Structure 1
């Protein structure tokens, strides 16, 4: 709504979408202080002033900040506290339900950051702690300091690398899984024609999977998913979203949308029931492989989120 997928959308229209979503039973809203930056939290703050705060679980994030036109990752305790105070003010709330570390600061032990988040829980400023794009070892170390409620990660039919180690770790520890980009950043909504409609400023233009040489290969996945969707009487995006829903009751996908018609379509995915045979067929499609990394070179992810041992850290 506010950043990355082209120009920000008109605020009144987006508030209408948020209110409509809540009226349809959507109870989980996900944002970040980095979206904008700050503008998406301000948008949600305005939407929640309508007396509907108690109807939703509100999640936001800290840890990425723009510095001189570049992204800087920070988990320093003083910054954690300042970021939380800023989010509370912009959102207009007394407490954040789920507060994520958006990306892991690899310059200091994860225990240091989680220790400050634990204090914020004890003070009632946040209710639950989450991590985003964290490795299995990082998750375990963080969970030993304070229970981690949710881990946010990219998971969809064309992004499966988290299944080897991270998903099992979350389940071993009883941590909820929040799947972002469950529609492959829009790929399963529009297929290869999606790239023809990217507006100026849409960061997906830089994603390797959307480059023409890779998309020529990747479009086969969409076409095969479309065939199954036709048989099931649903859209490819509904089928892709249903696949995520069928991964377990501990999984909550967060498909983003700016249009009520697309929101209704996403909600309709809950009615798509997949048999064991359907899941096996989708598995065979996914296992055929995707060309291109999910992120551009140099972007922080769970693969680069390990932090130094706590024994190496000295408070200043």
Structure 2
């Protein structure tokens, strides 16, 4: 199941029935795939809380936890990741007790040597660079805005036009770019352990024919993963809903956050022709290695 589908169901089922009743149903044996779907889909928020809670406990016990927004969003992303795996694979495990099946699946993931390695290619220099940028964007607005530059080569004026931001938002975009160049960029490279030699190596790789194609492939993995930090609030939207949002002028933070983290939606919104954006080529991944 896609993260979009999961997000939709989580939003739809936010009014959760009595928690103890839900836990009781999840502890009962389900005998068919249809029963599994019915019981699980009625309890998605509870299951997400449980998976995220186990992940938080794992990080605490292994000395990797800090009480900050970045770590809270990290456990939410991985809770959603585990829940998606559970929804896909659980149907083939019946008869089972869904609650205990989720527990065992999360425990099995945490017992792996690299439990949070969600794509092996993201351990390469290019993957580490992209993962570091996108991961930082989840907790820093400066880094979020900088994604438009690093991933698509857009400047502040182009970002303002493409997102159709109003006068009060425009100066903030310029300040985001400025702060990123002055300090955010260097701090992010230090945080991910990316050295000048690593950056030089990527610069040399950039001359290869398929460099941006590989960057796009890895960027999509990273974007999909980090969007799970806000599963209830920022799902992908169909064309007509993006158009309505732009024309009516609402959802400014939604636009800024989601479109930086979703190439498909950025291209869809760009193609709406707002403020003349469609007169230019749609954004594509042209990785920028300097701020």
TM-score when normalising by structure 1? 0.26
Larger Rg: 2
Higher strand content, 1 or 2:
1
Higher helix share: 2
